[in-house]
Amino acid sequence: MIPGYAGKVLHIDLTKGSVRKLRLRKSFIKSYIGGKGFGARFLYDMVTPRINPLSPSNPLMFFTGPVTATGAPASARDVVVTKSPKTGTFLDSNSGGFWGCWLKIAGYDGLIITGRAQKLSYIYINDGSVEIRDATGLKGFGVYATTEALVKEVGDKNAKVAAIGPAGENLVKLAGIVNDLHHVHARGGPGAVMGSKNLKAIVISAEPRKPRFEIADKDGFTDYNRKIIKEVVMGPPEEWARTDGTPIIVRWSNDVGVLPTRNFQQGVFEDVDKIDAEVMRSFRTSKGACYRCSIACRNLTKIKDDKWGEIELDGPEYETIALGGSNTGLSDFKAIIAWNSLADDLGMDTISLGNVTALAMEAFEKGYLDKDVLGGMELRFGDADVQMELAKMIAYRKGIGDVLAEGAREFVAWLGGDAYKLAMETKGLEYPAYDPRGSIGMALAYATADRGACHLRAWPIAAEAFGDMDPFTTEGKAKLVIDMQDLNAVKWSMVFCDFLDADYELITNYFNHVTGLNYKPETMKLIGERINNLIRLFNVREGFSRKDDYIPYRVAYEEMPVGPNKGFRVKPELFKRMLDEYYKLRGWDRNGVPKKGKLRKLGLGRDISRMNVSGIIS
């Protein structure tokens, strides 16, 4: 087996109650690295086209990478891969903490779960042994109570738990999988897939002093790791992460006019000084780190309030502050912490939750909803009580929450008329916290992201509004987005955290030290392109094409009303220009379908004949 890997993937069929240990081929590892790459290949090969994502046959998969649990900075990660019930696309969702490291230390590079248990269950992995256990007594429990109960039940205070809350049990499309209490595989509804399998949690006991994998060049790895920690992690590139972490982006985004405010109606928030990093620091008790990570980006906060009670939280992060703060008009930081804690306990994605909450508030204020439909509620921007109540209604699918639980696209379709103009989504996935009307490259990044609107496939705003590139012109943006997407496909396959300022050279050096292979940066770049093209094939097979690579009405037709980007919108002709160039540079046809020559070059030739059944590859 190649060093850096445990060499085994665990396959659990909940319908049959069976457990199999699959061995990974060396050729497979060399072609797809780990994490996202493994998931892309497995999902493409395992899933029958057009299956219902909530059916027993849709696999729920967890994968680690070659650097996971090695002590490399920002490597305490794992990736969940499945077909998204939110969008119908390929879905991968990353999370940090300890749980993913425990999976690898226990001897598994991945976990594939299929089928559906007859009753609510949980999986217990105790080093080499695996059991499927009864969890019926945990029905309806939040993530916090579930975690506490299962750690006690298995008798290991160091056990790590990944669980769903009521939202996952109720198949809410905004539901995530929460590990280590506050680390969430959030986007795209993986918690609903887990709930559809009648699976409440996965518990892992492992001995970190006895990892079941090896590092090929231990001395070389140690020396290189020290070098990167000294020059990168402890240097200027990572200073923002070490000091404040993502909350520092609140002020950055507001200053350049892209901070979503009241459902993206504008890009500056008048109360930004009440929700920025300086305010966060007043509630911070300490900094925290994921397993063996030297960056320690996490902010551990605490409030003690007559209204919200006593809450300890790992967070909030920028996306949560922006989508659940400025975007809903909420400027009470204590309330944002309380809302974040509630969302984690219910098991929901704070990005999508904050997005649909703000959407409902604007819909109410503009007359698309009335109090009769809402049972007397008034959905006003800035009302913390309403924001909390709406989160509970969504998690339990009560009243209007049952519609919002499906997401923004489905909600405006239910409202009818021109309500679609209010929805901020692509492919059914709600927008993250960067308005493209101040960073035109983000419009293309959101539109072409494999899982729907996502800032973690490409983040061109770093080079545009936060950097030196003109944020209002299309020149060079297609190449910028492609380069970022391919690099990130490799990062999420290793599996590194986004906070590591990594290029192909750094990634390749870590890979070679761990595995003993002799890859070149060019090889890694090719692998990133291969993974993205394979995922595009999956989405094409599911019926996606150019028509699904769109931007919302508000971005295309409503000019930014205030701030530094006043008067700007992403005009359809500008977006079309970027998208045409993007497809051409990718080697895809005008409908966004990869061409045969491109697929053969990437080693995906065997997939051409399988796709030609649909007659869509030229």
Q: Which of 468, 498, 504 is nearest to 486 (CA)?
A: 504
Does a structural domain hold residue 458?
yes
Are 105 and 292 contacting, i.e. CB atoms less than 8 angstroms apart? no
For residue 469, pLDDT over 90 is answered with yes
**CATH for 491:** 1.10.599.10
Integer Cα distance of 112 and 101 in angstroms: 16
Q: Which of 292, 338, 285, 300 is nearest to 96 (CA)?
A: 292
Please tell me whether residues 117 and 249 are part of one structural domain: no
Q: What is the pLDDT of residue 274?
A: 98
Helix, strand, coil share of the chain (percent; to 5): 45, 15, 40
Q: What is the pLDDT of residue 156?
A: 97
Picking from 350, 385, 419, the residue at the C-terminal end of a domain is: 419
Please tell me whether residues 288 and 407 are part of one structural domain: yes
Does a structural domain hold residue 237?
no
Picking from 385, 419, 453, the residue at the C-terminal end of a domain is: 419
Q: Which of 179, 176, 185, 186 is nearest to 204 (CA)?
A: 179
Q: Is 592 helix (H, G, I), strand (E, B) or coil?
A: coil
Please tell me whether residues 465 and 415 are part of one structural domain: no
Q: Is 288 helix (H, G, I), strand (E, B) or coil?
A: strand
Local confidence band at 530 (pLDDT 50, 70, 90 cut-offs): very high
Does a structural domain hold residue 523?
yes
* pLDDT per residue as tens digits for the range 371-391: 888 989 999 999 999 999 999
Tokens 């309380």 belong to 338
Does a structural domain hold residue 80?
yes
Please tell me whether residues 462 and 330 are part of one structural domain: no
Number of other CB atoms surrounding residue 137 within 10 Å? 10
Integer Cα distance of 247 and 249 in angstroms: 5
Distances in Å between the Cα of 465 and the Cα atoms of 478, 483, 567 are 16, 18, 16
* pLDDT per residue as tens digits for the range 274-308: 999 999 999 999 999 999 999 999 999 999 999 99
Does a structural domain hold residue 217?
no
For residue 152, pLDDT over 60 is answered with yes
For residue 615, pLDDT over 60 is answered with no
Report the Cα 463 to chain-centroid distance in Å. Answer: 22
Provide the domain count of the chain: 3
Q: What is the pLDDT of residue 606?
A: 87
Please tell me whether residues 409 and 466 are part of one structural domain: no
**CATH for 122:** 3.60.9.10
Three-state SS for 499-560 is: CCCCCHHHHHHHHHHHHCCCCCHHHHHHHHHHHHHHHHHHHHHCCCCHHHCCCCHHHHHCCC
List b or e across 302-340, with b for residues whose CB sees 16 or more CB atoms inside 10 angstroms.
Answer: ebeeeebeebebbbbbbbbbbbbbbbbbbbbbbbbbbbb
Q: State the helix-helix crossing angle for 35-46 and 477-494, rounded to 10 degrees.
A: 90
Are 395 and 164 contacting, i.e. CB atoms less than 8 angstroms apart? no
Distances in Å between the Cα of 85 and the Cα atoms of 54, 61, 187, 359 are 7, 14, 10, 20
Does a structural domain hold residue 218?
no
Picking from 375, 391, 419, the residue at the C-terminal end of a domain is: 419
Please tell me whether residues 440 and 411 are part of one structural domain: no
Instruction: Tell me the H-state helices in 112-217.
Output: 143-154, 166-169, 190-196
User: If you average pLDDT over residues 401-425, what whole number do you get?
Assistant: 98
Please tell me whether residues 593 and 489 are part of one structural domain: yes
**CATH for 395:** 1.10.569.10
CB-count exposure of residue 412 (10 Å: 0-12, 13-18, 19+): buried
Integer Cα distance of 463 and 444 in angstroms: 14
Q: What is the pLDDT of residue 608?
A: 77
Please tell me whether residues 315 and 362 are part of one structural domain: yes
Does a structural domain hold residue 239?
no
Structure tokens at 100: 């993913």
Please tell me whether residues 550 and 581 are part of one structural domain: yes
Q: What is the pLDDT of residue 616?
A: 60
Residue of 349 and 607 predicted with greater confidence: 349
Are 190 and 93 contacting, i.e. CB atoms less than 8 angstroms apart? yes
Q: What is the pLDDT of residue 397?
A: 98
Does a structural domain hold residue 221?
no
Please tell me whether residues 98 and 149 are part of one structural domain: yes
Q: Is 299 helix (H, G, I), strand (E, B) or coil?
A: strand
For residue 613, pLDDT over 50 is answered with no
Predicted TM-score (pTM) of the model is: 0.97
Local confidence band at 8 (pLDDT 50, 70, 90 cut-offs): very high
Please tell me whether residues 344 and 480 are part of one structural domain: no
For residue 610, pLDDT over 80 is answered with no
- Per the structure, the complete domain to which residue 393 belongs is given by 244-419
Q: What is the pLDDT of residue 612?
A: 55
Please tell me whether residues 287 and 167 are part of one structural domain: no
